[in-house]
Amino acid sequence: MNFEILVGFMMATAVLAISPGPDNIYVLMQSIVNGKKYGLATVAGLISGCLVHTTLLAFGVSAIIKQHDSLFFIIKLFGACYLFYLAYQVYKNSDAIDLNDKSVPEKSLFQLFKQGFFMNVLNPKVAIFFLAFFPGFLFSDTLSTAIQFYVLGLLFMFVSAILFCLIAILASAIAEYVKRNSKTGYILKWMQIYVFIAIGVYILLSDK
């Protein structure tokens, strides 16, 4: 078992979790507009949805990866290209992160949990991202691929939940900082581009 791969996976997950994206921006918005507990309810829903994607990945793709090296390479190539595409999409987007939108509707805690859950589960990009991200971090020659995916999935959920909760709790301070500093959006944009490219290269060069 290679613990260095697990540490690298957790670090990559942490950087991805704090990079601006639709999920953490939505958590930020809910916390700013409706309060911290609403942001935390959204986090709980989003993270719970990751368990569904992990299960689909573990039982749907693990057998293919285990038995077909050529398909593993195709998945790896597709995953790397998808990450490079995400980097390009970020590059094309504006630097600004608009935190002044007050159009987020107020809902109950359960409604926000349910919305976060279905936002995650029904988003095909999440499934594709898991498929692109996880196979490059398989860490054991003895454990089954399915078990390794579950370990990676739980680590992904754990790290993301901690950082998303921090975003929800510190939302007001983060929002004010972003509003006051014009260069913050630019820095976050290029950090996200670098992360997507670096992980794409790592996955492309990784062995089974």
Domain boundaries, the chain: 3-95+117-205
Structure tokens that stand for 168 in this block: 């929800």
Helix 124-133 × helix 36-60 angle, to 10°: 60
- Greatest CA separation for the chain: 54
pLDDT confidence of residue 66 = 61
Tens of pLDDT along the chain (208 residues) come to 788 999 999 999 998 888 877 788 788 877 876 778 888 999 999 999 999 999 988 887 666 766 777 877 887 788 788 888 878 887 887 655 555 555 555 678 898 899 889 988 887 678 788 888 898 898 998 898 889 999 999 999 999 999 999 989 888 666 666 667 767 667 767 877 887 788 788 778 876 5
Look up the pTM and report it: 0.75
The per-residue pLDDT for 204 is 80
| 8 Å CB contact between 156 and 76 | no
At residue 22, the pLDDT reads: 73
Question: 3-state DSSP call for residue 122?
Answer: coil
Residue 189 near residue 95, CB atoms below 8 Å: yes
- DSSP label of 135: G
Q: Give which of 132, 98, 155 is closest to 204, Cα–Cα.
A: 132
Task: Show Cβ contacts of residue 158 under 8 Å, excluding neighbours closer than 6 positions.
Answer: none
